[in-house]
């Protein structure tokens, strides 16, 4: 398992692995928003939690189709399926690798971009915390979507159509936690519900992911 994780991480960091791509995309989306809505600081600080979360979501979406596609093409996914490691564990490892390469950097980049959007000072802790809790769930859900579409040649667009509705609960809770934090209210409830969604996804989706992979490898 560890070997697989290290291999995936190394592949992602190597040139062409798209390691920095998600992060750059996140940066650009967030920077584009003020151009769209105008430089009004009050308005920006109101919509900042939502923008940061939506941008994080899109950035996480960007690199999803890489999770299985390359392994599927060169046949190493088939090897993994016949290895003693169950496919359920493989999918968890894949999701973890995706999270380390995209989710985790996002958590640390988000506060910096918060400055640009005049995010209220109280909200930073909640922003980092909610992203830390929420993004593993996003990676797991995305891995499931990637497993569904791995056999398709043009899976990318379909993948986003399938995965984005699944992201809704996470987005609602995550952005709500930050918004409550910004308003100085207690944000424990949305944070806990966010944790529920993430943990639930990690508990259930590996089985669905593995099932989808087995179908696609048939």
Using CB under 8 A as the criterion, which residues of the chain lie in contact with another protein when the complex forms?
Answer: 144, 148-149, 151-152, 154-155, 158, 161-162, 164-166, 168-169, 172-173, 176, 190, 193, 197, 204-205, 208, 211-212, 215-216, 218
Q: Find the shortest distance in angstroms from Cβ 200 to another protein.
A: 8
Cα 39 from Cα 117, distance rounded (Å): 9
CA 174 to centroid of chain Cα atoms: 12
Smaller CB distance to another protein: residue 101 or 209?
Answer: 209
**Residue 168 Cβ, how far from another protein at the closest point, in Å?**
5
Shortest distance in whole angstroms from residue 87 CB to another protein: 13
Rounded to the nearest 10°, the torsion over CA 172, 133, 114, 13 is -120
Which position has the token pair 């986003």? 160
- Give the separation between CA 116 and CA 31, rounded to whole angstroms: 8
When the beta carbons of 101 and 130 are compared against another protein, the nearer one is: 130
Nearest to another protein of 48, 100 (CB atom): 48
* Alpha-carbon torsion (126, 31, 33, 168), positive or negative: negative
Q: Transcribe 179-192 into DSSP letters.
A: HHHHTT---HHHHH
Residue nearer to another protein on the CB measure, 132 or 197: 197
Closest distance of CB 172 from another protein, Å: 4
């Amino acid at each position: 398992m560890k070997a697989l994780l290290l291999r995936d991480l190394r592949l992602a960091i190597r040139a062409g692995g798209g390691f920095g791509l998600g992060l750059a995309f996140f940066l650009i989306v967030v920077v584009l928003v003020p151009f769209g809505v105008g430089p009004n600081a009050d308005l920006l600080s109101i919509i900042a939690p939502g923008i940061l979360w939506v941008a994080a979501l899109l950035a996480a979406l960007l690199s999803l189709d890489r999770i299985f596609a390359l392994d599927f093409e060169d046949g190493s996914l088939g090897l993994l399926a016949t290895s003693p490691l169950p496919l359920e564990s493989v999918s968890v490892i894949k999701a973890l690798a995706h999270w380390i390469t995209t989710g985790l950097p996002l958590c640390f980049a988000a506060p910096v971009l918060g400055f640009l959007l005049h995010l209220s000072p109280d909200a930073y802790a909640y922003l980092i915390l909610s992203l830390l809790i929420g993004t593993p769930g996003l990676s797991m859900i995305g891995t499931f979507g990637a497993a569904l579409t791995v056999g398709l040649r043009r899976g990318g667009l379909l993948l986003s159509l399938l995965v984005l509705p699944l992201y809704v609960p996470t987005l609602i809770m995550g952005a709500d936690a930050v918004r409550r934090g910004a308003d100085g209210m207690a944000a424990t409830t949305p944070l806990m519900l966010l944790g529920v969604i993430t943990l639930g996804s990690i508990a259930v989706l590996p089985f669905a992911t593995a099932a989808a992979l087995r179908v696609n490898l048939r």
